[in-house]
Amino acid sequence: MENQAVDAINLVQNGAYDLSIFSLFLRADPVVKLVIFGLFISSIWSWAIIINKIKMIRKINNVTKKFEDLFWSTSSLEGLYNKTESKNDNPMIAIFNKSMIEWLKIRNSKIKDRLENRLNNVLVNSINNEIAKLEKNMIFLASLGSAAPFVGLFGTVWGIMNSFQAIGITKNTSLAVVAPGIAEALFATALGLIAAIPAVIAYNKISSTFDNYSIRLETFAQEFVNRVTK
């Protein structure tokens, strides 16, 4: 670890030290490299999740709006079910189909409370399952948002410790000598923040969207129960 920092100091003294980001990464300590590489890959993965969720939300909202219009305009729920029974890729349609299957089984029940209770149980379980599907991989965004700055800080502390050890060996404390090693270390913190900030913002925004959609599903569920138990 000290040898790499000593070499870097020698390069600075000889005027041959390249301060580009790529060069900083190549000359960094193996531990710092591992931190930077891990944060870089995590950032790419988080952006893949964010883009996927944005596309999914747009598609879900469009299909849900069309289905709600059909639900309120149709006079026959069985007819609507026959059209949508094979289309379960939308949460609201999936909930409707599961509830219709249960309703068709028990619609001739003479006990209204039993009918409502069974439908409500199916609806609650279906909503929970669909929301769980929507929130898949969200825990990664939350974890990255909270952990990335500390992982980057660890890389910074390790890199600075490395630099100071080398300074102790070379007995040279000039700013020109210290700066490259510190720049390598601070790069890890910067990357940690670059990974964390979008993850936190996206997690909060997407979670809020899913919460609102969950309320939308619950409202639909109640309207469905009211309609079939009149």
The CA distances from residue 49 to 127, 170, 230, in Å, are 22, 47, 43
Lowest mean pLDDT among 14-23, 43-52, 138-147: 14-23
Residues near 42 by beta carbon (within 8 Å), at least 6 away in sequence: 144, 148, 195
- The answer to whether residue 182 scores a pLDDT higher than 80 is no
Instruction: Work out the pLDDT band at 228, boundaries 50, 70, 90.
Output: confident
Q: What is the mean pLDDT of residues 212-227?
A: 92
What is the per-residue pLDDT for 12? 47
- The answer to whether residue 203 scores a pLDDT higher than 60 is yes
Q: What is the mean pLDDT of residues 110-122?
A: 76
| Angle, helix 175-228 to helix 2-13, in steps of 10 degrees | 120
What digits encode the pLDDT tens for the residues 12-39?
445 445 556 666 666 667 888 888 889 9
What is the per-residue pLDDT for 75? 82
- The answer to whether residue 219 scores a pLDDT higher than 80 is yes
- State percent of the chain over pLDDT 70: 78
Instruction: Work out the pLDDT band at 165, boundaries 50, 70, 90.
Output: confident
AA identity, residue 81: Y
> What is the spatial distance between Cα 63 and Cα 92, in angstroms, rounded to a whole number?
9
Residues near 116 by beta carbon (within 8 Å), at least 6 away in sequence: 225, 229
- The answer to whether residue 130 scores a pLDDT higher than 80 is yes
- The answer to whether residue 223 scores a pLDDT higher than 80 is yes
SS3 per residue for 7-64: HHHHHHHCCCCCCCHHHHHHHCCHHHHHHHHHHHHHHHHHHHHHHHHHHHHHHHHHHH
User: Considering the chain, what is the average pLDDT of its residues?
Assistant: 82
Instruction: Work out the pLDDT band at 109, boundaries 50, 70, 90.
Output: low
> What is the spatial distance between Cα 151 and Cα 162, in angstroms, rounded to a whole number?
17
- The answer to whether residue 2 scores a pLDDT higher than 60 is no
What is the per-residue pLDDT for 166? 66
Q: At 175, list the tokens.
A: 């700013």
What digits encode the pLDDT tens for the residues 57-74?
999 999 999 999 999 888
> What is the spatial distance between Cα 103 and Cα 116, in angstroms, rounded to a whole number?
9
Q: At 42, list the tokens.
A: 């995590």
